[in-house]
Amino acid sequence: MIFPSQLVPNSGDFVIEHLNDSVENRRLLNAFSAGKNATGLERYIKEQAIGDEQSNESRTYLVKDALTGDLACYFSLRTCLIPIAITKSLFTTIPAIELSNFAVNENYRRSQKAVRKIGVFVFLSFILPIVRHVASFVGSKWLCVYALPIPKLLEYYEKIGFARLDKEREAFVYSHVKPKYDKDCIFMYQAI
């Protein structure tokens, strides 16, 4: 069987590793900073990611600088079902993969000023290939994210292919599956 860390070839500048690939990876979490608007993402990687791994609730991947070994970015993936209203009393579900966490290490960004657009690079080079590979085995139509309600971030997600549902369907999703820790976030999706 092909594992995601083997599926995506290392980029040359960055390598991807599963959180549990080495004891060193756990040490790297302590130096991670998600920045002032994303403290929940920082707390997740430091306090909850390992527990979610052990309980099979999500998989977290670390993107590291190939030369220095520094943690540049992380993301977490898990499966989900998105309920979509058909009528007032009838709904269907769409199988999806959720990008449940995605953050660049601000400490890495500050120390490596020449490295730009790492988030887009990670999304295109690592996240999408893993998601498409998983979808070929389990069947999934969408990749979804609950984005922080920051206009610049919402624009960023739109530029990499995510869209919002219409207001009525968005409200329906929120009333059925919106995670408690994502209470202020905006649901976005894209076809896989």
User: Is residue 144 pLDDT above 50, yes or no?
Assistant: yes
The ranges assigned to domains in the chain are 4-191
Residue 63 phi, psi dihedral angles, 5° rounding: -110, 120
| pLDDT, mean over the chain | 87
CATH number for domain 4-191, candidates 3.10.110.10, 3.30.70.20, 3.30.413.10, 3.40.630.30: 3.40.630.30
pLDDT category of residue 57 using cuts at 50, 70 and 90: very high
Give per-residue pLDDT as tens, 83-101. Answer: 998 887 889 999 999 999 9
Give the pLDDT confidence score for residue 4 in this predicted structure.
Answer: 46
What are the angstrom distances between the C-alpha of 140 and each of 60, 78, 131? 19, 12, 9
The model carries a pTM of 0.88
Q: pLDDT value at position 181?
A: 63
**Structure tokens belonging to residue 57:** 């609730």
Token readout for 14 is 């960055």
Contact of 95 with 140, CB cutoff 8 Å: yes
What does the alpha-carbon distance between residue 119 and residue 156 come to, in Å, rounded to a whole number?
Answer: 10
pLDDT at residue 118, rounded to an integer: 86
Give residue 142's Cα distance to chain centre: 13
